[in-house]
Each structure stands twice: as C-alpha cells, then as structure tokens.
C-alpha cells in the first residue's frame, strides 16, 4: 500500500477518534453450501481467488480508515469462536447476537456500543458487510471520507454503487436533489434520496440504468450515531428500551458493554426487521453518495463470476484440482478430490467437507433449498 500524503483526507480520518468501524458478519451463507456451514458461513471462508477469509479481507479494508480499537464485529453467537479467531488483533471487540434478527437490531447493538464507548464525542459509524468484494480501495477510501463528511452534517449516508449492468438481484436507490454541504465544492456532492426500489425485473432494471438516476443499494452505510439512535428510538421504541436495559453500568475500553445473559433474554422479543425497512425508508435525513469502486455482493455461487476474473481462457473459475474438457463459464471449487468435467457449460461444481453440489449457474439461488431439505431431514452433520 502506498504511503498517504501529508494532510491527505483519508489520513485525517484515520486519526479521528470519533469514527468507528462496524462489520456485520452474522449471515448464515446458505447459498454457498456446501463450503459455507452454520459455524463457518461464507464470511468465514476464503472465496474466489482470495487467500484470506472474507471477514479478514473486510477488516483489512478498514486499515487506512479506522484503528482496530475503534472497530467492532456483530455476529451470531454460534459463530463467535470462529469469528474471534479470524478477527484476532484486527478487531478485538466482537458482539455476539443470541439470534439472527436482521440488520436493524444488529446495527442498533453496534450503535449503542459505540455510544457507550465513545462518551464525550459525537461519533460516526462506518458499517460494512463481511461478504462484499471491493477492488478499487483508493476510490473506496475517498468515497468513505466524503460520506463521513456528509454524516457530520447529520445525514444518514448511504454508498450507492453506480450500476454497470441491469442487475435484478439488488435493490436500487433513486437520487434526488444535490446537497450543498461543506466541504463539498459542487463536485462529488452527496444527494438526497428520492426513494428506494425493490429488486426489479430486467426491463425495469434496464430503465433504471439508462436513466442515470438510480444506484445499487450496497448496504454500505455511514451514520452519525446520535441521529441513528434517535431514529431507532422513534421507530422501534420497545426494542431500544430492551437493548438499553442490557447495557452494563460500567465498561472498560474496548470491552463488550452488554450483559450477555440479559441480552439472551430480551433478544427473542425484538422485531426481526432490516435497517432499510425500520429507518431508511422512513427517515427524512437520508443522503446518498455515488460510489464506483468495483463493488460486488457475493451472495451465491454464480456471483463469483462477477466478482473474480476467470482462471482460464474458457471463462471458468477453478479453485482446487480439476481437469476440464469442453467446459466453459463453469465454477469448480474443491477442497481436495480432483474434479473432472466433460461438456459442462454455465455450471457450478463444488466439493467441500464431504458433500458435493452440482447445479446450473442459473439455479445457484436455489442452493438454499438444499439447506432447507437437510434441515428438514435433521442432517446436522451436513449443516
């Protein structure tokens, strides 16, 4: 990594003691079975051409922005040990959720922890998911720096990815009027959010892209903690009261501020809801910044082809030992046994932990149905 120039805005951000980093890492990763399992979901696996687990790569992304002592991970209690092992010194503070309750409770948990740990400051939180790929880190740093400046003005700020094709698997954000905020000079300014759109059909997605007004909803957020908590208190008052009741009276620096026994009792009663539905789609203080830094949400096996370059001239992605004949645009991932294919096109072939998956790339979203079938058959040995 190149040295940051003196007075570089990213360097200033790194030294800002009121900026915190949050990684949401509690997903089950069912669409990446059999590589992803309950206690080692996809964010704890190395995917594609990466040598490190996705969580580790995500934490490295924070390196020039937020010091380890101001980072935290929110994960599921079942994944706590494995998460801590991967996080290590990169992120000593890991907050375990007793149950998966979607993103609103997870982000509320992090925001309350930051409020307690950052007493005496007006903190801003940068929230990332642990299973995203970002290829242009310099541009990512620049965009996050602008987003923090926007959040300082009280705006809940989203990073909206400039779409490169009509994707039907993502939600979209519609840009509104430009916001004339300091220190922006009219270039790279944030925008008000005019509205959110659910995952569209192909024709609608094509219109979105051609209009130039719509951005992919990346799930990357930069929030002023005070504003976020006020919104959560308004939208989910009972949940927030319950979570606050679990805060310890005193807590040391970098320690979990929640009483885990109390948290385990109240968590089942919390509303299962996304931060988008709970707050972002209702708030009047939502801004978006254009982001073009090679972002991809790696949600299923077929998404690897969009996130990583092909490993051979036939467009295949091959990880592990394989022999291919007349095979193209196929993903092969094996943890040991050699995989041999003949005449396969646009397929997924995976061998991991004693299980084999074979399916068309077009059916990769249905892998979660395999997990559901295994759960119904009580095959815990394969989950």
> Are residue 248 and residue 375 in the same domain, yes or no?
no
Percent of the chain with pLDDT over 70: 95
> Are residue 94 and residue 228 in the same domain, yes or no?
yes
Predicted local confidence at residue 6, as pLDDT:
46
Identify the bridge partners of residue 157 per DSSP, sorted by sequence position.
Answer: 222, 287
> Are residue 13 and residue 51 in the same domain, yes or no?
yes
> Are residue 259 and residue 290 in the same domain, yes or no?
yes
> Confidence band (pLDDT; 50, 70, 90) for 3?
very low
Q: Please give the average per-residue pLDDT across 77-83, as a whole number.
A: 93
Residue at a domain's end among 243, 273, 299: 299
Query: Has residue 1 got a pLDDT over 60?
Result: no
> Are residue 288 and residue 338 in the same domain, yes or no?
no
Predicted local confidence at residue 28, as pLDDT:
79
Query: Has residue 259 got a pLDDT over 80?
Result: yes
> Are residue 191 and residue 96 in the same domain, yes or no?
yes
Query: Has residue 19 got a pLDDT over 60?
Result: yes
Mean pLDDT over each residue of the chain, to the nearest integer: 92
Q: Is residue 335 in some structural domain?
A: yes
> Are residue 211 and residue 110 in the same domain, yes or no?
yes
Q: Which residues contact 52 (CB under 8 A, 6 or more apart)?
A: 46, 60
Instruction: Report angle CA 166, 29, 27 to the nearest 5 degrees.
Output: 100
Q: Is residue 33 in some structural domain?
A: yes
Distance of alpha carbon 174 from alpha carbon 193, whole angstroms: 6
Query: Has residue 119 got a pLDDT over 90?
Result: no
Q: Is residue 280 in some structural domain?
A: yes
> Are residue 137 and residue 210 in the same domain, yes or no?
yes
Residue pair 113/145 in contact (Cβ under 8 Å)? The answer is no
> Are residue 194 and residue 334 in the same domain, yes or no?
no
Domain CATH code at residue 210: 3.90.550.10
pLDDT in tens, 344-355: 999 999 999 999
pLDDT in tens, 269-288: 999 999 999 999 999 999 99
Residue at a domain's end among 244, 266, 299: 299
Q: Please give the average per-residue pLDDT across 254-262, as a whole number.
A: 92
Identify the bridge partners of residue 95 per DSSP, sorted by sequence position.
Answer: 74
Distance of alpha carbon 292 from alpha carbon 283, whole angstroms: 25
Distance of alpha carbon 196 from alpha carbon 175, whole angstroms: 9
Q: Is residue 2 in some structural domain?
A: no
> Confidence band (pLDDT; 50, 70, 90) for 11?
low
Range of the domain at 348: 302-382
Query: Has residue 336 got a pLDDT over 50?
Result: yes
106 C-beta neighbours (distance < 10 Å), count: 23
> Are residue 235 and residue 281 in the same domain, yes or no?
yes
Among 33, 83, 22, CA closest to 55: 83
Distance of alpha carbon 214 from alpha carbon 129, whole angstroms: 21
pLDDT in tens, 29-67: 789 999 998 888 999 999 887 889 999 999 999 998 999
Predicted local confidence at residue 210, as pLDDT:
95
Query: Has residue 267 got a pLDDT over 80?
Result: yes
Q: Is residue 3 in some structural domain?
A: no
Q: Is residue 16 in some structural domain?
A: yes
Tokens of 60: 């490295």
Distance of alpha carbon 313 from alpha carbon 187, whole angstroms: 41
> Are residue 157 and residue 247 in the same domain, yes or no?
yes
Residue at a domain's end among 299, 332, 362: 299
> Are residue 313 and residue 347 in the same domain, yes or no?
yes
Q: Is residue 355 in some structural domain?
A: yes
Number of domains in the chain: 2
Lowest average pLDDT, out of 94-108, 181-195, 222-236, 276-290, goes to 181-195
Q: Is residue 185 in some structural domain?
A: yes
Predicted local confidence at residue 4, as pLDDT:
46
The long-range contacts involving 352-359, CB below 8 angstroms and separated by at least 24 positions, are 352/34, 352/35, 353/34, 353/35, 353/37, 354/34, 354/382, 355/33, 355/34, 355/382, 356/34, 357/33, 357/34, 357/301, 359/301
Percent of the chain with pLDDT over 90: 80
pTM here? 0.91
HSE-up of 14 (CA within 13 Å, CB side)? Answer: 17
Distance of alpha carbon 177 from alpha carbon 191, whole angstroms: 6
Tokens of 379: 């095959």
């Amino acid at each position: 990594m190149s040295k940051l120039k003196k007075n570089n805005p990213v360097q200033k951000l790194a030294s800002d003691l009121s900026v915190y980093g949050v990684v949401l890492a509690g997903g089950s990763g069912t669409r990446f079975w059999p590589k992803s399992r309950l206690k080692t979901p996809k964010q704890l696996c190395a995917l594609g051409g990466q040598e490190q687990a996705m969580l580790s790569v995500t934490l490295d992304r924070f390196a020039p922005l937020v010091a380890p002592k101001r980072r935290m991970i929110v994960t599921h209690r079942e994944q706590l040990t494995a998460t801590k092992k991967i996080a290590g010194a990169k992120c000593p503070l890991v907050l375990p959720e007793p149950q998966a309750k979607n993103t609103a409770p997870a982000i509320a948990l992090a925001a309350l922890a930051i409020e307690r740990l950052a007493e005496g400051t007006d903190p801003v939180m940068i929230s990332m998911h642990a299973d995203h790929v970002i290829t242009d880190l310099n541009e990512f740093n620049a965009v996050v720096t602008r987003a923090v400046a926007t959040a300082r003005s009280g705006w809940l700020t989203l990073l909206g990815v400039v779409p490169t094709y009509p994707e039907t698997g993502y939600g979209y954000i519609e840009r509104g009027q430009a916001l004339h905020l300091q220190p922006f000079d009219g270039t790279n300014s944030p925008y008000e959010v005019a509205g959110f759109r659910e995952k569209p059909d192909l024709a609608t997605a094509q219109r979105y892209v051609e209009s130039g007004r719509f951005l992919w909803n990346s799930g990357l957020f930069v929030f002023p903690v005070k504003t976020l908590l006020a919104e959560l208190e308004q939208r989910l008052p009972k949940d927030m009261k319950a979570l606050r009741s679990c805060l310890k009276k005193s807590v040391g620096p970098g320690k979990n501020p929640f009483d885990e026994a109390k948290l385990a009792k109240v968590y089942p009663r919390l509303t299962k809801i996304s931060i988008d539905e709970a707050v972002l789609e209702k708030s009047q203080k939502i801004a978006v910044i254009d982001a073009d830094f090679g972002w991809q949400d790696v949600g299923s096996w077929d998404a690897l082809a969009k996130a990583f370059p092909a490993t051979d001239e036939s467009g295949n992605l091959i990880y592990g030992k394989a022999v291919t004949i007349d095979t193209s645009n196929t993903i092969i991932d094996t943890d040991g046994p050699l995989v041999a294919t003949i005449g396969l096109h646009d397929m997924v072939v995976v061998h991991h932990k004693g299980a084999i998956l074979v399916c068309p790339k077009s059916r990769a979203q249905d892998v979660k149905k395999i997990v559901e079938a295994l759960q119904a058959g009580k095959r815990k040995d394969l989950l």
